Amino acid sequence: MDLSLEHWKLMSATERQQTAKRVARQLPNGFELESVQTFELAGLANQIAQFRFERARFALVPGGLVSIGFDAGRWTPVQDERESWAKTVSDYGITGRIEEHVTHATTRRRQVELNPFLIEALPHEAGWQPIDLHDPTVQQILAENSVGRNIDYSRDHITTRVRWSTGGTVIAQRARNVTHADLIAELAATRAGFRYPTPDEWEYACGGGAWTLFRWGDHVPCDRYPTDVNPAGGFEPDWDHHRQPNAFGLQIATDPYKFELTHTPGITRGGDGGTASCGGMGFFMGWLALATAYFEDHTCKHDPAETIAHGHTLARRVFPLT
C-alpha cells in the first residue's frame, strides 16, 4: 500500500482509517490500532494513525521523498534574538553573526527517500534497569528522605534512583554501564523488529513536516531557557510549544539537557546535554539545541564505546514499515 506522505494527505478521513486498519493487520502480534486523530502545532496539522504496543503508543509516520534540514538563508532573527546573541558574543568573546552560527549549528536542506515507520510518541530514559524495593540502597534512600521526593544517589560510581509516580507508587532503578553500541545491539537482539530511528528519520519525525527552524516556528522567547518553569520575572508561563506534541503526535526535543539515541552508534539528536543552558551561554543558544535540524559535532557526536550519560540520554523505538 502507498504510505507516502503525499498520498496520505490526499486520502479522505475514511480512507486513512481503512488504511490504518490494513497496517494493523500486517503488524506483529501485540500491536493494536488505537485511533486516527489530528495533531496540530503552529498551524501545521496532520491526521496521524496511532497504535499501541504493550504500554507504549506509536505514531505512523508516512514516508516517501521528503525534505529535511534547514534553509538558513530564509531565516531572519527578531530583535530579542539578536540581543540575546549580542550578549553571548560579549560574554564568551566569540565572533560572527547569529545567522552564521545557525547555519553552522544545523543540517542543510535536502531531500531524502524514507520508508514509512512507526515511532514511539514518548521516549524513555536509556540505560536504567529496575531493581527490587528491598535493595539495601533503596531502603536507605527511603528511610532518609521524605515521601514523594525523587532521589538520585551515587556511591562507588553506581547511581541508584527512586521515583514516585502520581499514584504514590515507588519505582527504583539502577544505572547500567552500557554504551550506545550496546543498546543498539540489545534492541536488535529482542527480535521484535524494533530499532532506533536513523538520524534522518529522527529529524523528519521531529519537524512534523515544518520547514521552520523549530517545529513550532522560527522564533523563541529570549527571556528564559526552555527548562524554566513558571518563572517569576514577568515571563509568560503558558509558553510551552516545545512541550506540546508536534504535527506527527510526538513529544520530542523538549529539553536541551537530554538527547536521543539514533540507529547510528555515537550520533544523538534533540539536545546538547545542557551545554548551552547550564553554561549560561544565552537564552537563544539554549533554545537552539531544540531546533529540528540542530547538529553540532561537539554535542551530537560521541564515542560509541563510551558509557552513555545517564539522566541525559533518551531512546525511542522505531518499527520500520515496507
Rounded CA separation 241/148 (Å):
28
Determine the pLDDT at residue 234: 54
Annotate 45-57 with b (16+ C-beta within 10 A) or e (fewer): ebbbbbbebeeeb
Query: What does the domain layout of the chain look like in residue ranges?
Result: 63-126+179-320, 128-175
Q: What is the pLDDT of residue 98?
A: 97
Over residues 175-213, the pLDDT tens digits come to 999 999 999 999 999 989 999 999 999 999 999 999 999
233: pLDDT confidence band, cut at 50, 70 and 90?
Answer: low
Residue type, 198: T
- Does residue 166 carry a pLDDT above 80? no
pLDDT for 168: 80
- The b-or-e profile of 62-87 (16+ CB within 10 A means b, else e) is bbbebebbbbbeebebeeebbebbeb
Q: How high is the pLDDT of residue 149?
A: 87
CB 246 within 8 Å of CB 208 = yes
235 burial type by CB count under 10 A (0-12 exposed, 13-18 middle, 19+ buried) = middle
Q: Residue 95: what pLDDT?
A: 86
pLDDT tops 70 at residue 304: yes
Q: What is the pLDDT of residue 62?
A: 97
Among 85, 83, 79, 88, CA closest to 280: 88
What digits encode the pLDDT tens for the residues 74-123? 999 999 999 999 999 999 988 899 999 999 999 999 999 999 999 999 99
Residue 191's contacts (CB-CB under 8 Å, 6 or more residues apart) are none
Helix (H, G, I), strand (E, B) or coil at 267: strand
pLDDT of residue 230: 54
Specify the DSSP class assigned to residue 6.
H
* pLDDT mean over 36-59: 96
Does the pLDDT value for residue 229 go beyond 90? no
Global pTM? 0.93
Q: Is pLDDT at 272 greater than 70 in this prediction? A: yes
End-to-end alpha carbon distance in the chain: 9
Examine the pLDDT at 236 and tell me if it is beyond 60: no
Other C-beta atoms closer than 10 Å to the C-beta of 183 total 20
Residue 218 has pLDDT above 90, yes or no: yes
Task: Identify the band that residue 42 occupies on the pLDDT scale cut at 50, 70 and 90.
Answer: confident
DSSP string of 71-96? -GGG----HHHHHHHHHHHHHHT--S
Report the percent of the chain where pLDDT is more than 90.
88
| pLDDT given for residue 165 in this prediction | 83
pLDDT at 232: 53
Look-up: residue for cell 529522527? 202
Question: Has residue 52 got a pLDDT over 90?
Answer: yes
The grid coordinates of residue 226 equal 526552555
Quick: pLDDT tens for 67-76. Answer: 999 998 999 9
Ramachandran angles phi, psi of 45, nearest 5°: -130, 145
Give the chain's mean pLDDT. 94
Judge contact between 144 and 155, C-beta under 8 A.
no
Q: What pLDDT does 235 receive? A: 54
Residue 231 pLDDT > 70: no
